[in-house]
Amino acid sequence: VVVTGSDDRLWKMWALPDGNIIMTGEGHTDWLSGCCFHPSGNQLVTSSGDATVRIWDLSKRGCILTFEGHTQAVWDCSWHSCGDFVASASMDNTSKIWDVN
């Protein structure tokens, strides 16, 4: 399984090696710059040009949390290995650590 983000404001989860789309997520209002699976594999974090970071619950097939606080596009995002924190880096020259709980 692989997840991709795109200029079309969507993330897509693909099954490999056949390339079938398993799931699509929409909700960001600008291009996606990063996607990262939770260490358990049951959630996804995405970052976007809309200056937000979103947490997606894959079993619910939807966004469950949106972090706002950057003032410009967010270039990338990543889960901490414990799964309780997300890091983001923005064009506004800041990095943030978000407590998911």
Closest CA to 77 of 18, 28, 24: 28
By residue count, the chain amounts to 101
Please list the ranges in the chain whose pLDDT falls under 50: none
pLDDT score at 88: 98
- 46 with 24: CB under 8 angstroms? no
Query: Domain extents for the chain?
Result: 2-99
pLDDT score at 79: 98
| Beta-sheet strands, E only, within 2-84 | 2-5, 10-14, 21-26, 32-37, 43-48, 52-57, 62-68, 74-79
Tell me if the pTM is above 0.85: yes
Distance from the Cα of residue 4 to its chain's centroid: 10
pLDDT score at 92: 98
Task: Could you please state the CATH topology (level 3) that the domain comprising 2-99 is classified under.
Answer: Lipocalin (2.40.128)
